[in-house]
Structure 1
Amino acid sequence: MPFNLTYGTEALIPAEIGVPSVRTLLTIENEKELRLNLDLFKERRELASIKERKYIRQLQKYYNSRVNICKFKVGDYVFWRNEASNAEPGKLAPTWEGPYKIHAVLDKGSYKLEKN
């Protein structure tokens, strides 16, 4: 049984190979099926790749539908989350610090802040 699970075919002893029996005839059919599976392997791989891309697109659509993009302008006031700056660690430490005034807008959602 483990041989069958590992290799996909039944194990045969050399004496069984030369003698035609029901078991050896089934093994020959099994080899034909295995060769057919190998021929269809590229097609199965392509189908799996298509399904994977479709799944990734669905995840992106789901995620992007729930993202709220927040853009700030120069002169807006914002708070800085303390976890980001690792300022006073502890259970009773304040969660936010600030307010900070946005001094300049940099690349990719980055901002230069100045303390009031």
Structure 2
Amino acid sequence: MGETPFSLTYGTEAMIPAEIGAPTRRTLQGERGDEEDLRLNLNLEKERMEEAARREVEYKKKFERYYNARVREVKFKKRNLVLRENEASRKEDHGKLGPKWEGPYQVIWAGEKGAYRLADLAGKEIPRTWNSMQLRKNYA
């Protein structure tokens, strides 16, 4: 966010040991200057927080654009046959050499934004909804 952890915690910048021994503006002012600096930093704290919040929103928008440009939306229709990701269902753990996909299942309901209800081939409904990221079209 452009601020050091020390300045966010204490409201002022840290002094390094080399700066303490050298005659600088901060060391020459002494305690009186420190209190003035702290008052000034307290006055500027709200502005710094607003600037950090603005940068955070900007970063999130940039990340959202990056993600949305690369995500591939998959849409299934009712009665499509799909495979379900084994890791998502946590039905059985076959280890790393086990099957990655299980099924086929039939789509019985297609909701908005990639939510689907599934049923096995016998018609028994599978509990909960499934996201399109956890499903793959079955071509068999």
Is the contact between residue 73 and residue 102 of structure 1 (CA under 8 Å) also seen in structure 2? yes
Normalised TM-score (structure 2): 0.56
Structure 2: 5+ residue runs without aligned partners?
A: 1-9, 13-26, 123-140
Residue 70 of structure 2 is aligned to residue 66 of structure 1: yes
Find the residue that maps to 1:102 and give its secondary structure: strand
Which piece of structure 1 moves more, 92-101 or 47-56?
Answer: 92-101
Give the corresponding residue for 1:42: 46
Runs of 4+ in 1 over 6 A off after TM superposition: none
Residue 100 of structure 2 is aligned to residue 100 of structure 1: no
Query: CA shift at 1:27, angstroms?
Result: 2.1
Structure with the greater alpha carbon radius of gyration: 1
Larger RCO (CA within 8 A; separation ≥ 6): 2
Distance 1:54 1:7, change over 3 A: closer
Q: Distance in 2 between matches of 1:69 and 1:34?
A: 52
Q: Deviations over 1:47-82 (max 9, x none)?
A: 111111111111111112221111100122211222
Query: CA shift at 1:88, angstroms?
Result: 4.1
Find the residue that maps to 1:72 and give its secondary structure: coil
Q: Distance in 1 between matches of 2:63 and 2:35?
A: 40
Between the aligned residues of both structures, percent identity stands at 37
Find the residue that maps to 1:69 and give its secondary structure: coil
Give the corresponding residue for 2:121: 115
Q: Distance in 1 between matches of 2:11 and 2:41?
A: 13
How many equivalent pairs are there?
Answer: 97
Which piece of structure 1 moves more, 84-93 or 67-76?
Answer: 84-93
Query: CA shift at 1:39, angstroms?
Result: 1.0
Task: Supply the AA of the counterpart residue of 2:118.
Answer: K
Normalised TM-score (structure 1): 0.65
Structure 1: 5+ residue runs without aligned partners?
A: 1-5, 9-22
Find the residue that maps to 1:100 and give its secondary structure: strand
Is the contact between residue 85 and residue 101 of structure 2 (CA under 8 Å) also seen in structure 1? yes
Q: Distance in 2 between matches of 1:105 and 1:33?
A: 61
Is the contact between residue 11 and residue 42 of structure 2 (CA under 8 Å) also seen in structure 1? no
In structure 2, which of residues 34, 37, 40 is the aligned counterpart of residue 33 of structure 1? 37
